[in-house]
Amino acid sequence: MSYTYEFPHPAVTVDIVVFTIENDDLKVLFIQRDQDPQEGEWALPGGFVDIDESLGHAAKRELKEETGASASFLEQLYTFGRPDRDPRERIITVAYFALIPSDQLSIAAGDDARDAKLYSTNELPALAFDHENILRIAMHRVKERLSDSVYAFQMLPKAFTMYELRRVYELFLGEVLDKRNFRKKIIALDQIEETGEKRESVRHRPARLYRVKSVNRVASPP
């Protein structure tokens, strides 16, 4: 089967930057390519958009197929289209990013991927194509988002402590935040509430657990 057009058409792909926090470290999900070009190199999960699916759908599907991960919320990041960004043919890629709690990330390399794993943002492998650039821009975008809303809870389990929430901010922003001021700011945003439970069995005073208020579960720019 083949498809013919009167004018040349670029291929369109999606790439997804999945951020998660594991072992108190900010990590990103990559796959090891199983095919040329750049076979064996690490790259962002992604792939071709099917002709009758939406861009967001393609992003979720490719992420699932290649890594086993499910993203409930994706934000479109930017569209990269330099003519020379892929050696095969003209490929325009629509990049997305997601924040996923590590306890909801079940990773299993699939389709087109020899392997799939998380890398710390402090110890990145060499990346295929322009994916290092895409990642840089994604981190920048997340920083922006954090500064004007409670956005970080997407990376946390349903119940989380103030400390855990604060760590998300600290890892993205790359600076330490004052415990008291942080708590005040978050409470003022009025988007989370106490569960009444505490995080027990730790070798220090147990911390209160919080959850997202149900009103604030959805978010979808623009």
Partner DNA sequence: GCAAAAGTGTTGCTCATACACCCATGG
Partner DNA sequence: CCATGGGTGTATGAGCAACACTTTTGC
* Chain residues in the site for DNA (CB under 7 A): 161-163, 178-181, 183-185, 188, 198, 200-208
State yes or no: residue 36 binds a second copy (CB under 8 A): no
141 touches a second copy (CB under 8 A): yes
Q: Which residues pair with 32 in a beta bridge?
A: 42, 115
Chosen from DNA, a second copy, none, partner binding at 79 (C-beta under 5 to 8 Å by type): a second copy
The residue among 82 and 179 lying less far from a second copy, judged by its C-beta, is 82
Asked if 37 touches a second copy (CB under 8 A), the answer is: no
Interface residue with a second copy among 63, 94, 113, 186 (CB under 8 A) is 94
Tokens of 123: 């110890």
**Of 40, 82, 179, 202, which one interacts with a second copy (CB under 8 A)?**
82
E-only strand ranges, 34-72: 42-43, 46-48
Q: Is 163 in the site for a second copy (CB under 8 A)?
A: no
Cβ-count burial 66-95 (b if 16+ within 10 Å, e if not): bbbbebebbbbbeebeeeeebeeeebbbbb
H or E stretch at 170: helix 162-173
Whole-angstrom Cα distance, residue 136 to residue 91?
Answer: 20
Binding residue for a second copy (CB under 8 A) from 35, 72, 79, 120? Answer: 79
Is residue 117 packed enough to be buried (19+ CB in 10 Å), middle (13-18) or exposed (0-12)? Answer: middle
Q: Which residue stretch of 20-28, 81-89, 103-111, 203-211 sits at the interface with a second copy (rule: CB under 8 A)?
A: 81-89
Applying CB under 8 A, the site for a second copy has a residue count of: 32
In terms of CB distance, is 83 or 196 closer to a second copy? 83
Q: Which residue in the set 76, 102, 104, 121 belongs to the binding site for a second copy (CB under 8 A)?
A: 76
Q: Mention every residue, 6+ apart, whose C-beta is less than 8 A from residue 221.
A: 75
C-beta neighbour count of 133 within 10 angstroms: 15
Angle at 167 between CA 161 and CA 169, to 5 degrees: 115
Query: Which of the choices DNA, a second copy, none does residue 94 contact, using the CB cut-off of 5 to 8 A by kind?
Result: a second copy
Residue 54 touches a second copy, criterion: CB under 8 A = yes
Q: What, of DNA, a second copy, none, does residue 139 touch, CB below 5 to 8 Å by kind?
A: none
* CA separation for the pair 106, 45 (Å, rounded): 14
